[in-house]
Structure 1
Amino acid sequence: MYIAPMFPVKATAELTGLTPETLRAWERRHAAVVPHRDEAGRRLYDAAMVDRLCHLHRLTARGHPIRDLAALDSAALERLAAESRDTGYGGLDALPGRMLDAIADYRIDEFDRDLSVSIATLPVTVLVSRVVSPLLREVGVRWADGRLAIAQERLVSSLLRARLMSVLTQQPGAARPRVLFATLPGEPHELGLLGAALHAHEAGASVLYLGTGLPAEELATVAGRLDAAAVAVSSIDPGQAIPAVAELRALDAALAAHVPVWLGGANARYLAEAVGSVRMQAVVDPAALTGLIRRRAAARRPSR
């Protein structure tokens, strides 16, 4: 007989990103959820409550008062979350171009201010899809047609990395599935990897970002010592595709059998096919990455 998992206060706080104090306040003042109780009177939360609390947390972070949200059912919260993602960000279309204009004129403080405000005010999905990804595409266009010098491109990379890493180091959670993010030796391009790590963070993973140029054996060692739920590897440079196949075969041999490898970047599909391991999967869609992380999280939750 299947018994649905129940989560105590500490685990629920880890899964939702809320503090135990906030959970208690939302329950007592707003009846946002009504937890179950065990024989000793301790509060327990089922999976539907955890999902609801995640929605409430994200919506309050976007400025919606909890007093207005608490009375809404799950369907209404999902609709509001979708509306928040799709509307209210009309001014963003011009932002990446304006930021690169600032870099072209060496107005670094202006670029950094716009980036910092975006990170502080936008949901991660909007930040990546409407600011970071268009910015990276425009960097490539301007570099190709000579409007952006190599030094200016590196300024963009340096500033983006510094600010985006500040997001990835927030709210680490031991109860969340740990996912390692890295590139292999010879692959210095990491901005796409950072974008994928941001999506994973938003989906509920505990992101361990290892950066560029990590040999396969070391990656497998770290994954084993830290009990990683998955390893994510990005490969973009066409010239590195063949060396990457050898590295990935070494990773496949060294990694624990239960740990999947998710491949991203322009070379992902080629590498997955060339290596031919059942554990290696090309993941080029943020929605697919989100789904994989949520399934890993569900598989690691305790049952009763």
Structure 2
Amino acid sequence: MSKVRSTSDESLIRIGELARRAGVPAATLRAWERRYAIVEPVRGPSGYRLYSPDDERRLRSMLALIDHGLAPAEAAARVLSAVGADAVLREQASAVPAPGLRAELFDALLRFDNAAAEQIMDRALAVLSADAFVREIALPVLRRIGDGWSEDTVTVGQEHFASNVLRGRMLGLARGWGGGSGRLALLACPPGEHHDLGLVGFGVALRGLGWRVTFLGADSPIDTIVACAEEIEPDVVVLSSISEELLARSAGEFDGFADRYPLMLAGPGASGELAARYGAAVLTEDPVAAAASLAP
């Protein structure tokens, strides 16, 4: 059983909030704490057990491994093995900087080596927050692979494999992103747009800032987006595409939409000219920076 220390750190959260963020029942978290010591709560002034960002990071890494088929005990052991003591984490962070991790992950993905890729991502998440992992590791590797495909140095099979591995890990980080009581974002891609990993990264970053996320994802019909917005009444709707043509094609179908819901265009296909046609604003292309721009 983990030790419970005393603290007055106001940045810590109670188990109910951790459970909402992670998307698992509080009873399950308590059981994992007892069995695997995956989290190390401290005791607040009022006597409640409180959990740190490091606890949440370890828990999310464990959940991502479970999503990939590992048993909870094995997933916890792998995370704790990758994490180690705080001093080891700092040493790993300086010894294996983001460029090195990106290069290792890129090479593993091109070799179709799923086990190596997962291990590298475990190491990255042991020292990086979820949004830092998205910004510094996942999306740069994805862009490099996309560039390689455009230049015929990466095959279609390699591109599909890499996208699926990165998607699995990023969606693991997104677990529970609809829970909590924060502001609500509706995220979607227009019809015909099948590239939504940047939007996933944006959602992960938003969740880290306390937002709730409803994710429709790739190739979302316009009437589905509109109906969902009417149902959930989001605080913001983000439409993302790498294609200016696809965004332009859908503009007329959103007539009057921005009068009812704050609408943002995102992705490489977004532009000020298109945003004016939608009555929308434009978000920066960097998903993490875009999320930060929406912070309260």
Range of TM-score over shorter length? 0.5 to 0.7
Distance in 1, Cα, partners of 2:177 & 2:271: 32
Alignment correspondent of 1:6 = none
Q: Is the contact between residue 180 and residue 212 of structure 2 (CA under 8 Å) also seen in structure 1?
A: yes
Q: Counterpart in 1 of 2:171?
A: 165
Q: Which residue of 2 aligns with 1:57?
A: 52
> Would the alpha carbon gap of residues 16 and 271 (structure 1) be closer, same or farther in structure 2, given more than 3 Å must change?
farther
Larger mean Cα displacement after TM superposition, 188-197 or 95-104: 95-104
**Identical aligned pairs, as a percentage?**
21
Alignment match, 2:263: 261
Q: Report the 3-state secondary structure (helix = DSSP H, G, I; strand = E; otherwise coil) of the residue aligned with 2:215.
A: strand
Shift in CA distance, 169/153, structure 1 to aligned 2, threshold 3 Å: same
Separation of aligned partners in 1, 2:111 and 2:196: 25
1:27 aligned counterpart, secondary structure = coil
One-letter code of the match for 2:283?
V
Matches within 5 A, 1:101-180: 101-119=107-125, 121-170=127-176, 172-180=178-186
> Residue 287 of structure 1 corresponds to which residue in structure 2?
289
Alpha-carbon distance, 1:189 to partner: 1.0
Q: CA deviation at 1:290?
A: 2.2
Please state how far the C-alpha of 1:92 moved relative to its aligned partner: 2.1
Any conservation in 1 of the 2:177–2:213 contact (CA below 8 Å)?
no
Pair 1:134–1:226, CA change in 2 (3 A): same
Q: Report the secondary structure of 2:182's partner residue.
A: coil
Q: Of 76, 100, 108, which residue of structure 1 is paired with 2:106?
A: 100
Equivalent in the alignment of 1:72: none
SS of the aligned residue for 1:164 comes to: helix
Change (3 A) 1:103 1:288: closer
**Which residue of the partner structure matches residue 243 of structure 2?**
237
Distance 1:289 1:239, change over 3 A: same
Contact 2:108 2:116 survives alignment (8 Å): yes
Once the two structures are TM-superposed, the CA of residue 104 in structure 1 deviates from its matched residue by: 2.1
Kept after mapping to 2: 8 A contact 1:224/1:256: no
Secondary structure of the residue aligned to 2:265 is strand
Q: Is the 8 A contact 1:14 1:174 kept in 2?
A: no
**Distance in 2, Cα, partners of 1:267 & 1:146:** 23
Instruction: Check 1:89–1:15 CA distance in 2 against 1; reply closer, same or farther (3 A cut).
Output: farther
Q: Is the CA contact (8 Å cut-off) linking 2:240 and 2:270 kept in structure 1?
A: yes
Does the CA-based 8 Å contact 2:134-2:170 persist in structure 1?
Answer: no
* CA distance in structure 2 between the aligned counterparts of 1:170 and 1:118, rounded to whole angstroms: 21
Residues 105 and 291 (structure 1), Cα distance of their counterparts in 2 relative to 1, 3 Å cut: closer
Unaligned residue ranges in structure 2 (runs of 5+) = 1-12, 31-39, 59-89
Q: 1:220 to 1:15 in 2, by over 3 A?
A: farther
Unaligned runs of 5+ in 1: 1-8, 33-52, 64-83, 296-304
Shift of 1:103: 2.3
For 1:97, the aligned partner's letter is A
CA deviation after TM superposition for structure 1 residue 221, in Å: 0.9
- What displacement does 1:224 show? 1.8
How has the CA–CA distance of structure 1 residues 288 and 142 changed in structure 2, closer, same or farther, with 3 Å as cutoff?
closer
Q: How far has the Cα of 1:211 moved from its partner?
A: 1.1
SS at match of 1:180: strand
Q: CA deviation at 1:167?
A: 1.4
Q: Distance in 2 between matches of 1:161 and 1:14?
A: 23
CA contact (8 A) 1:245 1:271 kept: no
Task: Give TM-score scaled by structure 1 length.
Answer: 0.65
Measured in 1, the distance between the counterparts of 2:191 and 2:182 equals: 28
Does residue 1:205 correspond to 2:216, yes or no?
no
Tell whether the 8 Å contact from 1:241 to 1:271 is kept in structure 2 after alignment: no
**Aligned-pair CA distance for 1:138:** 1.3
Where 1:268 maps in the other structure, the secondary structure is coil
How far the C-alpha of 1:244 sits from its partner, in A, is 3.0
Deviation of 1:59 after TM superposition, in Å, equals 5.6
Cα 1:255–1:222 shift into 2, 3 Å: farther
Query: Match for 1:281: what amino acid?
Result: A
